[in-house]
Amino acid sequence: MASVFSARVIRSALIQIAREFLFLPFWWYGAGLLKMLQWYRQSIKSVSAMFGLSVWVKNLFVPMYGDTAFVGRLISFGVRFFMIIVRGFGVLLWACLLSLICLIYLLSLPLLAVFFLIQVFGLLFG
């Protein structure tokens, strides 16, 4: 009884793998891509929260450390401007990195498949 059940499970596992292999390109650019984009959006959100860019932009003209004197305001504006650039750069860098990962995702499957086929055919018939 148990062996019948395990045979059924193994057969079913093989069928699952085969089916997923066949449908891999469709899944990759369908549901898989959607999942990837969700992850991308979520990551960008956390990155911007981490750098707090919006808070800095909102407070561009607000003096830092409560120093409301003219010089204080001037310095503060300068520092905030600089910080926005630095932080903006940080966000940009992260965004590039995340985009790169997405790009790799987009290209990886066909590239892997094409090079794999080239190599296998080359080995067999080359």
Q: By C-beta, is 55 or 74 nearer to other proteins?
A: 55
Q: Distance of alpha carbon 25 from its chain centroid, rounded?
A: 19
Q: By C-beta, is 17 or 93 nearer to other proteins?
A: 17
| 24 Cβ neighbours under 8 A, 6+ residues apart | 109
Minimal distance, residue 1 CB to other proteins, in Å:
12
State whether residue 122 is helix, strand or coil.
Answer: helix
Cα four-point dihedral sign 32, 38, 44, 49: negative
Q: Which residues bind other proteins (CB under 8 A)?
A: 5, 8-10, 12-17, 20-21, 24, 27-28, 31-32, 35, 49-50, 52, 55-56, 58-59, 62-66, 80, 108-109, 112-113, 115-116, 118-123, 126
Question: Token pair 């990551």 is at which residue?
Answer: 43
Give, in order, the Cα–Cα distances in Å from 64 to each of 11, 34, 42, 52, 68.
Answer: 68, 42, 31, 15, 8
Minimal distance, residue 96 CB to other proteins, in Å:
21
Q: By C-beta, is 28 or 98 nearer to other proteins?
A: 28
Minimal distance, residue 95 CB to other proteins, in Å:
18
